[in-house]
């Protein structure tokens, strides 16, 4: 499992849904759809309409992969820090029951406000 307690991910940037769809769609429940997809160098985050998948590509070859499913129903609170003048990154912190805090850092062009709106629709 990804260590969400230590150093945060390398900055996540928006990417094509097809980057990770072949990896995670076999794990989908009927009717589940991808909303947004982000990637760092090798790892990724996929927001679906049911949950968040954190994908950790491991090893030199990248054949070993770790998938963490974070259901919206377990989110207790969240915080967002938008990009500023000198700090061009955005941060999203989520608190999950049973897991604790999960932090994602996004590049400036990521639509973090849209993600927060979607999360609000799921948890409120």
Region of residue 24 (phi > 0: left; psi between -120 and 50: alpha; otherwise: beta):
alpha
Cα distance between residue 110 and residue 112, in whole Å: 6
Sketch out the chain's domains with CATH numbers: 13-123 (2.30.29.50)
Helical H segments across the chain, by residue range: 18-24, 112-123
Residue-wise pLDDT tens digits, 14-32? 999 989 999 999 999 999 9
Residues 6+ apart with CB under 8 A from 113: 80, 82
For position 7, what pLDDT does the model report? 45
Cα distance between residue 16 and residue 116, in whole Å: 20
Cα distance between residue 28 and residue 20, in whole Å: 13
Contact call for residues 76 and 93 (beta carbons, < 8 A): no
Residue-wise pLDDT tens digits, 52-110? 999 988 878 888 889 999 999 999 999 988 766 656 788 899 999 988 899 888 887 78
Cα distance between residue 99 and residue 108, in whole Å: 27
For position 91, what pLDDT does the model report? 87
- pLDDT at 4 > cutoff 80: no
pTM (two decimals): 0.86
b/e for 9-29, b at 16 or more Cβ within 10 A? bebbeebeeeebeeebeeebe
Banded pLDDT at 8 (limits 50, 70, 90): low
- Give the DSSP letter of residue 31: T
């Amino acid at each position: 499992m990804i260590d969400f307690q230590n150093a945060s991910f390398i900055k996540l940037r928006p990417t094509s849904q097809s980057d990770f769809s072949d990896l995670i769609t076999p794990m989908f429940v009927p009717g589940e759809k991808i909303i947004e997809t982000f990637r760092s160098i090798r790892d990724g985050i996929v927001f679906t309409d049911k949950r968040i998948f954190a994908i950790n590509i491991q090893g030199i070859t990248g054949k070993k992969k770790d998938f963490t499913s974070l259901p919206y129903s377990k989110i207790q609170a969240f915080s967002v820090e938008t990009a500023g003048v000198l700090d061009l990154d955005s941060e999203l912190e989520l608190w999950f029951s049973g897991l604790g805090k999960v932090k994602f850092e996004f590049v400036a062009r990521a639509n973090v406000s849209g993600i927060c709106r979607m999360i609000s629709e799921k948890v409120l």
